[in-house]
Chains A and B, each alone.
Chain A
Amino acid sequence: MKYLVVGLVLVLVVLHQDVWNWDNDRLVLGFIPFTLAYHACISIAASVVWLLAATKAWPTNLEGDETSQQPNRAGGDA
């Protein structure tokens, strides 16, 4: 999962460059310039990627963090 998150962050970086939109002067929804709308979507996509990172790739065994040092209850029970 860690590698998926790293890959998605790199995809965001590539999408962020959007040279293919450089001369697009269309107004999206009739009021928001295309480049602004595109990058607003990048911001939302970034939140989604970081949600994935926080839920699926959170670092474990952090020093000083009691919660991450507690034994895995499920594992212990097993």
Chain B
Amino acid sequence: MIAQLAADATDSALLSPGMIKVVIISVYLGLLLCLGVFSSRLFRGTSEDYLLASHSIGPFLLLMSLFGTTMTGFALVGSTGESFAEGVGVYGMLASSSGIIHSLCFFVLGVKLWSWGKKYGYTTQAGFFRDRLDSDKFGLLLVPVLVALVVPYLLVGVISAGKAIEGATRGDFLWLIESGYSETGGIPPWLTGLVICVVVLVYVFFGGMRGTAWANTFQTLVFMILGIVAFYLIATSLAEKAVADGRAHQIVDGERIVRTDPPTGLWDSLHIVSQEIPKARRVRAEVGLENQIESVEAPPQFRTRERLDPWMFFTYMLIPFSVGMFPHLFQHWLTAKSAKAFKLSIVVHPVFILIVWVPCVLIGVWATTGLINIPPPVAGDPNKVLGFMVKSLSGDVLGGFLLAGILAAIMSSLDSQFLCIGTMFTSDIVVHYGGKNRFSDRQIVLISRCFIVAVVTVTYFLSLTDIAQTRVFQLGIWCFSGFSSLFPLAFLAVYWRGLSKWGAYAGLITAASVWFALFYASEFGAIDNWSVDLTIGERTIQTMPVATIFLATIVSTVVVSLITPKPNPTTLAKFFPVKG
């Protein structure tokens, strides 16, 4: 099939829409590979350089790598799809709260853990907790839990990429339908997943953490710039279409009339397109074209949160605490050159979230308006909405660039996750139990690389299973809920002298078991928007599962810490020196 794609490029189909996109994406991926190979030339040959870039990352690279790592397919593909399915409330649910909470985590955990990491030589979270709790076996329990949570996160990225590219190239390769490789004529998700896994693998393999930080910076710039370009193109194209279809209206002498003047720019286009938001779905489902401008009573759910329980919204705020326990972010924190390097990330992160999320959410609700016909297979799978919009409303060349931007967002998270899992296996299992002096630096780097290859391979094959049919947003929420539930452990370890190793065990086991029980009850994410409902009197309130897990973890950690032997004073003195 790949040969067929290449052959297409060499014959008369060279300039076909699909091939233009394929060529642009290929050039972009080639640039990434070059960046990875180039950064490997700066490799100093030590394991610390491969895994932590020798603590040399300054403020700008740290900002771009932290932001690029936290923004994944979930932010672009997932937020567009979710706002298409649920409305604009998705920004408040996750993005604005993330602006507050992510920076909070960088401030209260990142800076402190960086300082201890630099002083005591930590590479992973397990190394820190083992030391802080005086418990070697705690790492044995923590590592499998973290790996089990990172793998679904990896899948979110690979699945998003596959769905987005398939949606964006739908109908471009009709011969794929005839040959049975695709039902839609788009590039099949398995091929996209394979390509991005190989590309990310190559630059992580050769470049290590320095290559990852550079690639993240490059990709973050790419997806932010191209995201804004996509927003502009979709807004102006939709507005032109609205006018051409007689869907736009304006008020003249107090009366609403059909508008015939073409849009005059972005601002005007935004007004035309957003007029339609209140009519979303209702127009599509129930009202004919002749009635849609004047007689439709606007259902407000797509521009308000009327269907969302305020308690559900409140408990959503716990989800962003996940960044406090992401193992790949922990590793990125340790790359900082100094504590002051964190300042830029802490301050700018909320605004960067705004720049990425607001356009995606608007594109998602515009897709509900009926200004563009979303075919049932796409509407039924919201992950495909962004790709479909890009394909339908931008030219082939720009469409290719925008697809490269979507892939950039996805890959800038995948690389850090692949690297961190490889690091955990190497540092927490192989080196920890094999003995620090048993392996040379060169051997440690080799072992890390081998594990990274294994992780990428396993992830790719998992993405081919039925899990790939799950909605990206839902899968991401469950994954983040697990990490969020571990946040209290990290916070108490950093700020509470009373945390005992038995308290930490209790917290970890509680978090893992309650998370699994609730995930099972939600049929492993198959039930959308699954909530834990509490009935108080005649009122039933809905809460996010993360609230139950979070609370259970705090209670078990604190109670067990209080009733078990106190931590070793020598250890406490190491982490909580007496002031003065």
Q: Could you list which residues of chain A lie within 8 angstroms of chain B, going by C-beta atoms?
A: 9, 12-13, 16-19, 21-25, 27, 30-36, 38-40, 42-44, 46-47, 49-51, 53-54, 58-59, 62-68
**Is A47's CB under 8 angstroms from B310's CB?**
no
Q: In the complex, A22→B307 CA distance in Å?
A: 9
| Minimal Cβ-Cβ distance residue in B for A65 | B339
Write out the residue numbers on chain A whose beta carbons fall within 8 Å of the beta carbon of B118. Answer: 63-65
What are some 19 contacts across the A-B interface (CB < 8 A)? Answer: A12-B100, A13-B100, A16-B92, A17-B314, A33-B274, A33-B365, A34-B303, A35-B92, A35-B303, A36-B358, A42-B99, A44-B350, A54-B343, A58-B339, A62-B115, A62-B339, A63-B119, A65-B118, A68-B339
Contact of B273 among A19, A24, A31 (CB under 8 A): A31
Inter-chain CB contacts under 8 Å: number = 147
Q: In the complex, A22→B313 CA distance in Å?
A: 11
Contact of A40 among B96, B305, B313 (CB under 8 A): B96
Write out the residue numbers on chain A whose beta carbons fall within 8 Å of the beta carbon of B43. Answer: none
Q: In the complex, A30→B249 CA distance in Å?
A: 13
A33 with B277, Cβ < 8 A, contacts A24-B304, A58-B343, A62-B112 known: yes
Write out the residue numbers on chain B whose beta carbons fall within 8 Å of the beta carbon of A23. Answer: 300, 304, 306
Q: In the complex, A17→B92 CA distance in Å?
A: 9
Would you call the interface of chain B mostly helix, strand, loop, or mixed?
helix
**Is B339's CB under 8 angstroms from A44's CB?**
no
A46 with B99, Cβ < 8 A, contacts A19-B310, A35-B304, A58-B343 known: yes
**Is A67's CB under 8 angstroms from B338's CB?**
yes
Q: In the complex, A21→B304 CA distance in Å?
A: 8
Q: What sequence of 0s and 1s flags, for each residue 345-372 of chain B, a beta carbon within 8 Å of any chain A beta carbon? A: 0111111011000100110010000000
| Minimal Cβ-Cβ distance residue in A for B90 | A36
Q: Could you list which residues of chain B lie within 8 angstroms of chain A, going by C-beta atoms?
A: 88-89, 91-92, 95-97, 99-100, 103-104, 107, 111-112, 114-119, 267, 270-271, 273-274, 277-278, 298, 300, 303-306, 310, 313-314, 317, 338-340, 343, 346-351, 353-354, 358, 361-362, 365
**Is B119's CB under 8 angstroms from A43's CB?**
no
Write out the residue numbers on chain A whose beta carbons fall within 8 Å of the beta carbon of B340. Answer: 58, 65, 67-68
CB distance from B438 to the nearest CB of A (A): 27
**Is A66's CB under 8 angstroms from B300's CB?**
no
Q: In the complex, A20→B91 CA distance in Å?
A: 17
Contact of A16 among B88, B97, B270, B349 (CB under 8 A): B97
| Minimal Cβ-Cβ distance residue in B for A49 | B100
**Is B99's CB under 8 angstroms from A47's CB?**
yes
**Is A17's CB under 8 angstroms from B310's CB?**
yes
Q: In the complex, A12→B92 CA distance in Å?
A: 12
**Is B88's CB under 8 angstroms from A36's CB?**
yes
CB distance from B337 to the nearest CB of A (A): 10
Write out the residue numbers on chain A whose beta carbons fall within 8 Å of the beta carbon of B346. Answer: 50, 53-54
Contact of A13 among B277, B313, B317 (CB under 8 A): B317
A50 with B350, Cβ < 8 A, contacts A33-B304, A62-B339 known: yes
Q: In the complex, A70→B119 CA distance in Å?
A: 16
**Is A36's CB under 8 angstroms from B91's CB?**
yes
Seed contacts A22-B305, A50-B350; 6 additional CB < 8 Å A-B pairs? A33-B277, A35-B304, A46-B350, A63-B119, A64-B119, A67-B340
CB distance from A16 to the nearest CB of B (A): 6
Write out the residue numbers on chain B whose beta carbons fall within 8 Å of the beta carbon of A63. Answer: 115-116, 118-119
Write out the residue numbers on chain B whose beta carbons fall within 8 Å of the beta carbon of A58. Answer: 339-340, 343
**Is B111's CB under 8 angstroms from A59's CB?**
yes
**Is A31's CB under 8 angstroms from B99's CB?**
no
CB distance from B563 to the nearest CB of A (A): 30
A43 with B274, Cβ < 8 A, contacts A27-B303, A34-B303, A63-B115 known: no
Write out the residue numbers on chain B whose beta carbons fall within 8 Å of the beta carbon of A16. Answer: 92, 96-97, 100, 317
